[in-house]
Amino acid sequence: MTYEELTTKIMEWAHERKIDEADPRVEFMKMAEELGELSSAYNKQKRAQLIDSIGDLQIALLIFSKLVGVDHHSAVENAYREISNRHGKTTAAGVFIKESDLHD
């Protein structure tokens, strides 16, 4: 199944349950909940829960995007365009620091 087909199925699932008509704040809280579960799974090194949490968070984000009128695909494309030519330095801990922030 392609990512686009999967996204369509997720949105159909949300529509059947009227989640795509809910208050966006509810889905926002769901994203926060899923992020907490992701953090817990990562910190406890529970691989199956980590995978599940990543998927759940992605689904909640897709639904939230629809609720607030943002095309998620366009948002990701825009974000990539913004970072694609970004230069800077990655620390030993794996933190990327933009070049403009290195001079502050």
The residue extents of the domains of the chain are 3-102
DSSP letter string, 33-93: HHHHHHHHHHHTT-HHHHHHHHHHHHHHHHHHHHHTT--HHHHHHHHHHHHHT--EEE-TT
Res. 104 pLDDT band, cuts 50 70 90: low
What pTM, to 2 d.p., does this model score?
0.84
Q: Is the pLDDT at 66 greater than 70, yes or no?
A: yes
Homologous superfamily (CATH) of 3-102 is MazG-like (1.10.287.1080)
Condensed to tens digits (0 to 9), the pLDDT of residues 16-37 reads 999 999 999 999 999 999 999 9
